[in-house]
Amino acid sequence: MLHTLLAIFAVIILVVTWWLSYCQRLRARSRRLTMTEPSSNRRFYKRVNRDPEEQYIEGVGYVIGDLSCSYNARSPYIRCAVNPDGLCQDCRHYHKKED
């Protein structure tokens, strides 16, 4: 009787272990397929909201703000080093860049 219970217990442990291993492999395969699928990677490269002031500079990338101002931050996120939230038009901190 004891041997039968131990055998049943061992089989149950074996089945549970196999099931957990199988589920782990399925999750890993799903993650791997998601990362290699082209449509899932596009969201990292696509910029949805383009700012009308945004300009592309070779070697730097996209920047926003007035590039003729010496305080321009040359960043896609911040317009001005002095007034980061403000617009360049009618800015009291505007200082024309000297070439």
**55-73: pLDDT as tens digits:** 888 888 888 888 888 888 8
Q: What tokens appear for 48 in the block?
A: 């949805």
Q: What is the pTM of this model?
A: 0.43
CA atoms lying within 13 Å on the CB side of residue 69: 22
When the pLDDT of each residue in the chain is averaged and rounded to a whole number, the result is 82
Q: What is the dihedral of CA 49, 53, 58, 59, to 10 degrees?
A: -70
3-class DSSP state of 13: helix
Decide if pLDDT at 44 tops 60.
no
